[in-house]
Amino acid sequence: MSMNRREFMQVLAVAAAGGMTLASDWARAAQAADALYDLPRFGNVSLLHLTDCHAQLLPVHFREPSINLGVAGMANRVPHLVGKAFLAHFGIAPNTPQAHAFTHLDFVEAAKLYGKVGGFAHLATLVKRLKESRPGALLLDGGDTWQGSATALWTRGQDMVEAAKLLGVEVMTLHWEATLGADRVKEIEEKDFRGAIDIVAQNVHTTDFEDPVFKPYVLREVNGVPVAIVGQAFPYTPVANPRWLMPQWSFGIKEAQLQQAVEQARAEGAQVVVVLSHNGMDVDLKLASRVRGVDAILGGHTHDGVPQPVLVDNPGGKTLVTNAGSNGKFLGVLDFAVKDGKVVDWRYALLPVFANFLPPDPAMAALIEKIRAPFADRLAMPLARTEGLLYRRGNFNGTWDQLLCEALMAERGAEIAFSPGFRWGTTLLPGETLTMEHLLDQTAITYPWSTLTEMTGTQIKEVLEDVADNLFNPDPYYQQGGDMVRVGGLEYSIAPAAARGKRIDHLRLRGEPLAADKKYKVAGWAPVSEEARESGPPVWEVVAAYLRNVKTVRIERVNTPQILGMAGNLGMEQ
Amino acid sequence: MDSKRRTVLQGGAGAGLLALLAGVGLLKPSEVFAARANDAAFKLEKLDEVLKALGVTSAAEGGDIVLTAPDIAENGAVVPVELESKLPNTESVMVLIEKNPTPLAAIFHFHEGALPRVKTRVKMGQSSDVYLLVKADGKFYQVKKEIKVTLGGCGG
């Protein structure tokens, strides 16, 4: 395999030629779009990869992070580059559609200019277009498809099941899907997906006898070439999400079993082996360095939009590692040239799905309309108007979670609030009306209860240390994905590169140091323990009440902790 | 899934792992009793005290022994660990969890010809280094692995 960034960049250069910084450049936008989406066909085996769409059927705005720190061996490496460092690394010109899709730079202005991204009707058009130029191409879904929107929650994922089938997904793996409950996942697999979509996950077994719960892999023939797609579900689903929703299922990374699955697939004749992974990119990079015989790991979970794969050496050769972003914003296209039974060359592109550049597919648009119709009033219910940009993604508090924390503190009478460091959740532009649908884009989960607990200063520090280690452990196998828990009221400092238990310091509440033994009232939501079921009203009810009351959302200050020891780190703007 | 096997085993739940192993010839009944002689070691609260009680003065790092366990425990109450020794004349394998209130979690004795490979579950209260200690030909060997026990939540 040879790195072929130059050729890819030529395509980008054409797309970026107009710059599109002026409204008068719009005439050239269509040409730019054609250049962007007319990928020359390459090779004989093509894989289209979608991941972490989080049930966003309609086009959205989604701001990429301005803080995405890498520590230890991950510092200053893909995917831990943001903003200008990201553009420089991948050779993307600023002020282009690509720069907007891949970074947070000039987000509001660029979002207004280029419009929304994703949307299944637009994605469907792109998939069709690519399947025309690449006969036999397989469409793979990395999971986190059945969760993240109001309609997915209210239909228990049925909307996304129908949309995925119509889109032509052939193989998928999972993470948040499991939070609909193990029985629901199995029901969909056995009824809706029968003969249509295979769920693969080599790392999910029963907790008692370690029997496989899903197929470890499937073999598909593409233009006469047998291709194995091995599934790797999110390894820490029962840790990061409530175990009681899938009590009989055990996950984990399971390198040795993955190696076995790869060898078995090769023995069965697979000439191409890819892992459809929900590990997160750091975990995939480590895994790729240790497992042999994998041509590519098509990754998700960490929501990193990575324009070109990282090529990883291992004892068996080289493995490509990709990550295809989130929210339907991107479609990955991996082309393999397979000759004499093995991969000899490849090309990759991560195509941003610009809704304005891709006409909606009529069949998909009709399905989405049908799905939404019964809920139209509830979805459109206005709650408030936002003065500023509301976004979530980033290692620490974004404006959206700042809002959730402030609402929780005000409505529940707490002095501190915690909000989970989820990476899904769409972005609202300044001046937009915040509807119930938008609120559910941030909160639609099957364990949405708000909590109110008394915690000592020591316990609060322990929580922050625990989550910080899940994000910044120097060994990616000990990370859980997700970002730092969002914090309201409390100020603190964090040293990401410090040892476990020693990252968090300078805890202050209203200017006073937090007392180790004193008890504080802490509000939160999304409890994972079964005992906390129904612990309080669903978070969206709490926040909706707050929004109706304030009418206008004005975030004065985002409670970002003081970040220590990260000078020069390219995972934050310097 | 083999539901029949599951039903059978549910009926026999509580039969006890040691009894089960003795039944298949992994452990000599006399060794089941010998294990009881180690009861004192199971009650000790410090790792070095446990090692002393077990007669371990030194242990070589590594060797042909494998500890397979999750990096992050899904449930600290039942953490699956797999212990394997490929060393000739393996007499016993032990699991020690440094930060447990009583670090010694299990000892398995093997008589000649038995394959020294065991899967079991251990309980962990917090993140800790976990040691596999193997006695073979009168010498001790060890490997360790960190297993994290986290509060959970906040993922993805």
Between these two residues, A307 and B25, which has the higher pLDDT value? A307
Residues A416 and A457 in one domain: yes
* Nearest CA distance, A14 vs chain B (angstrom): 35
Q: What chain B residue is nearest to A54 in terms of C-alpha separation? A: B156
Q: What chain B residue is nearest to A256 in terms of C-alpha separation? A: B68
Residues A168 and A219 in one domain: yes
Q: Is residue A85 included in any domain, yes or no?
A: no
Residues A393 and A258 in one domain: no
Tokens of A190: 């056995």
pLDDT tens column, B125-144: 999 999 999 999 999 999 99
Q: How far apart are CA A340 and CA A325, in angstroms?
A: 33
* Nearest CA distance, B56 vs chain A (angstrom): 30
> Which pLDDT score, from 0 to 100, does residue A524 have?
96
Axis crossing angle, helix A436-443 with helix A399-412, rounded to the nearest 10: 100
Query: Before B101, cis peptide (omega within 30)?
Result: no
From A369, A390, A412, give the residue that closes a domain. A369
Q: Is residue A282 included in any domain, yes or no?
A: yes
B155/A256 touch (CB, cutoff 8 Å), yes or no: no
Residues A320 and A186 in one domain: yes
CATH assignment of the domain containing A412: 3.90.780.10
What's the predicted TM-score (pTM) here? 0.91
Which helix or strand (DSSP H or E) is residue A543 part of? helix A539-550
pLDDT confidence of B11, banded at 50, 70, 90?
very low
A502 touching B, CB under 8 A?
no
> Which pLDDT score, from 0 to 100, does residue B154 have?
62
Which helix or strand (DSSP H or E) is residue A333 part of? strand A330-339
- Give Rg (Cα) of chain B: 16
Mean model confidence pLDDT for chain A: 94
> Which pLDDT score, from 0 to 100, does residue A496 have?
98
pLDDT confidence of A102, banded at 50, 70, 90?
very high
Residue of B128, B14, B124 lying closest to B75 (CA atoms): B124
A528 touching B, CB under 8 A?
yes
CATH assignment of the domain containing A185: 3.60.21.10
A482/B146 touch (CB, cutoff 8 Å), yes or no: no
Q: Chain A, 293-352: which have a CB under 8 Å from a chain B CB?
A: 301
Residues A332 and A408 in one domain: no
**Chain A partners of B6 at a C-beta cutoff of 8 Å?**
208-209
pLDDT tens column, A161-191: 999 999 999 999 999 999 999 999 999 999 9
Domain count, chain A: 2
DSSP string of A58-98, one letter each residue: S-BB-PPPSB----GGGTTSTTS--HHHHHHHHTPPSSSHH
pLDDT tens column, A526-554: 999 999 898 899 999 999 999 999 999 99
Q: How far apart are CA B124 and CA B95, in angstroms?
A: 12
The lowest-confidence range among A280-294, B33-47, B105-119 is B33-47
Q: How large is the average pLDDT for residues B110-118?
A: 90
A480 touching B, CB under 8 A?
yes
**Chain B partners of A475 at a C-beta cutoff of 8 Å?**
71
Contacts made by residues B78-81, CB under 8 angstroms, sequence distance 24+ = B78/A207, B78/B121, B78/B123, B79/B121, B79/B122, B79/B123, B79/B124, B79/B147, B79/B149, B80/A250, B80/B119, B80/B120, B80/B121, B81/B119, B81/B120, B81/B121, B81/B122, B81/B130, B81/B132
Q: Is A474 exposed, middle or buried (0-12, 13-18, 19+ CB in 10 A)?
A: middle
What one-letter code names the amino acid at A412? R
Domain of residue A510, residue span: 381-563
Residues A500 and A440 in one domain: yes
pLDDT confidence of A18, banded at 50, 70, 90?
very low
A209/B155 touch (CB, cutoff 8 Å), yes or no: no
Torsion-angle region of A371 (φ positive above 0: left; ψ -120 to 50: alpha; else: beta): alpha
Residues A174 and A276 in one domain: yes
**Chain B partners of A234 at a C-beta cutoff of 8 Å?**
155-156
pLDDT surpassing 80 at residue A28: no
Residues A418 and A454 in one domain: yes
Q: How far apart are CA A173 and CA A189, in angstroms?
A: 11
Q: What chain A residue is nearest to B148 in terms of C-alpha separation? A: A478
* A357 beta partners: none
pLDDT confidence of B156, banded at 50, 70, 90?
low
> Which pLDDT score, from 0 to 100, does residue A27 have?
54
What one-letter code names the amino acid at A551? K
**Chain A partners of B68 at a C-beta cutoff of 8 Å?**
256
* A264 beta partners: none
Contacts of A254 (CB under 8 A, 6+ apart): A202, A203, A235
> Which pLDDT score, from 0 to 100, does residue B155 have?
52
Residues A163 and A218 in one domain: yes
Which helix or strand (DSSP H or E) is residue A468 part of? helix A457-472
* Nearest CA distance, B2 vs chain A (angstrom): 8
pLDDT surpassing 70 at residue B34: no
Residues A352 and A268 in one domain: yes
Contacts of A307 (CB under 8 A, 6+ apart): A8, A90, A92, A98, A102, A349, A350
* Nearest CA distance, B72 vs chain A (angstrom): 6
Q: What chain A residue is nearest to B73 in terms of C-alpha separation? A: A239
Q: Is residue A70 included in any domain, yes or no?
A: no
> Which pLDDT score, from 0 to 100, does residue A30 have?
59
Residues A357 and A408 in one domain: no
Q: How large is the average pLDDT for residues A88-100?
A: 95
Tokens of A298: 């098509």
Tokens of A142: 């990395």
| CB-facing half-sphere around the CA of A141: CA atoms within 13 A | 31
Q: How far apart are CA A214 and CA B155, in angstroms?
A: 22
* A351 beta partners: A331
A250/B148 touch (CB, cutoff 8 Å), yes or no: no
If interface means Cβ-Cβ distance under 8 Å, which residues of chain B face chain A? 1-2, 5-6, 9, 68, 70-75, 78, 80, 127, 146, 148, 150-156
Q: Contact at 8 Å (CB) between A67 and A61?
A: no
**Tokens 């175990």, residue located:** A243
B156/A485 touch (CB, cutoff 8 Å), yes or no: no
Q: Is residue A84 included in any domain, yes or no?
A: no
B153/A469 touch (CB, cutoff 8 Å), yes or no: no
Between these two residues, B29 and A353, which has the higher pLDDT value? A353
Q: Chain A, 260-289: which have a CB under 8 Å from a chain B CB?
A: none
**Chain B partners of A422 at a C-beta cutoff of 8 Å?**
154, 156
pLDDT tens column, A44-81: 999 999 999 999 999 999 999 999 999 999 999 999 99
Q: How far apart are CA A348 and CA A389, in angstroms?
A: 33
Q: How far apart are CA A279 and CA B75, in angstroms?
A: 19
From B74, B148, B153, residue closest to A478, measured CB to CB: B148
| CB-facing half-sphere around the CA of B111: CA atoms within 13 A | 12
From A342, A369, A396, give the residue that closes a domain. A369
Q: How large is the average pLDDT for residues A210-226?
A: 98
Give the 3-state secondary structure of A430-461: CCCEEEHHHHHHHHCCCCCEEEEEEEEHHHHH
A55 touching B, CB under 8 A?
no
Q: Chain A, 424-443: which have a CB under 8 Å from a chain B CB?
A: 424
Q: Contact at 8 Å (CB) between A146 and A152?
A: yes
> Which pLDDT score, from 0 to 100, does residue A481 have?
77
From B2, B5, B74, residue closest to A250, measured CB to CB: B74
Residue of A321, A235, A259 lying closest to A285 (CA atoms): A321
Residue ranges covered by each domain of chain B: 16-147
**Superfamily of chain region B16-147:** SoxY domain (2.60.40.2470)
**Chain B partners of A236 at a C-beta cutoff of 8 Å?**
72, 74, 155
Q: Is residue A334 included in any domain, yes or no?
A: yes
Q: How large is the average pLDDT for residues A358-387?
A: 97
Helices (H), A334-398: 362-372, 376-380
A239/B150 touch (CB, cutoff 8 Å), yes or no: yes
pLDDT confidence of A446, banded at 50, 70, 90?
very high
A531 touching B, CB under 8 A?
no
B68/A478 touch (CB, cutoff 8 Å), yes or no: no
pLDDT surpassing 80 at residue A15: no
Query: What distance lies between CA B101 and its chain's CA centroid?
Result: 16
Q: How large is the average pLDDT for residues B112-119?
A: 91
> Which pLDDT score, from 0 to 100, does residue B153 have?
73
> Which pLDDT score, from 0 to 100, does residue A353 have?
97
Tokens of A337: 């040239």
Residue of A271, A286, A272, A353 lying closest to A321 (CA atoms): A286
From A337, A369, A401, give the residue that closes a domain. A369
pLDDT confidence of A34, banded at 50, 70, 90?
confident
Residue of A325, A236, A308 lying closest to A52 (CA atoms): A325
**Chain A partners of B148 at a C-beta cutoff of 8 Å?**
469, 473, 478
| A·B CB contacts under 8 A | 93
Residues A503 and A558 in one domain: yes
